[in-house]
Chain A
């Protein structure tokens, strides 16, 4: 029986954070993930195991290949996923507002 590992301990490691970053944009096989690191393949496998055990990553089997993808629901426990996306748009719109206010005063 696997002990559910602590999520925060899992993301405290820089390699594991980079793995999360990689699979956040697309599902990937262990091999594809490992090719991004200089570390030995078993080390990367260990990181994948930890991330899977604490349910930050999910596995899907397609034929012989196992694909890893982010478990969005559990990532929400760690941080509000939407907040950085909202912040990005808020920054853009704040800029828009500032620019257009100057635009009026120029006229």
Chain B
């Protein structure tokens, strides 16, 4: 399958860009970011608060497989329907601090649209650490799976 989601992260920069084209009209793509019930489904998180307006804020909470709760929050700086959302994002209780996100929504055709997420971190080092998180989790998961298999063999 074609890689629809693209990440552009230049070496040594404190920012990255995530782009994705959707087989969805612009209005539906934007709705997926606005309706709390829909955000919950695709982000796999609980939405505690989502105020879609300038000066508004949002608060998410996810529960990991071990039952630990993780909080996420941010403030909305710009909110233009079907066009853009500018917001901050923070993973609570982590050393990463806050990041700034510029979300741009564009219509490509009547049935397709594009999202560009430009994310700016406090430093290049922080960006690299956040980029590495899923990789590190992957190592851990692979390790756990391996252990499970080995235990079954014994």
Contact = CB atoms under 8 A, between A and B. Distances in A.
Interface of A: 11, 14, 17-18, 20-21, 24-26, 70, 72, 75, 79, 81-90, 92-97, 99-101, 103-104
A20 B139 contact: yes
B138 A89 contact: no
Q: Name which of A75, A81, A99, A100 has the most chain B CB atoms within 10 A of its CB.
A: A100
Contacts of B43: 92
**Would you list the 9 A-B pairs with minimal beta carbon distance, nearest first?**
A24-B136, A84-B134, A90-B5, A96-B42, A95-B42, A84-B135, A21-B136, A100-B28, A24-B132
Nearest to B147: A14
A92 B137 CA distance: 16
B122 interface: no
Contacts of A104: 24, 28
Which label, helix, strand, loop or mixed, suits the secondary structure of the A interface?
helix
Contact of B41 (A24, A26, A86, A95): A95
A70 B131 CA distance: 12
Interface residues of B, number: 39
B4 A90 contact: yes
B139 A85 contact: no
B5 A72 contact: no
Contacts of A82: 7, 9, 131
Nearest to A93: B20
8 contacts: A17-B139, A25-B94, A84-B134, A93-B20, A96-B42, A97-B24, A100-B29, A101-B23
A83 B134 CA distance: 9
A73 to B, nearest CB: 8
Contacts of B137: 21, 84
Given A88-B134, A96-B22, A103-B38, A25 B129 contact: yes
Among B32, B38, B139, the one with the most A-chain Cβ atoms within 10 Å of its Cβ is B139
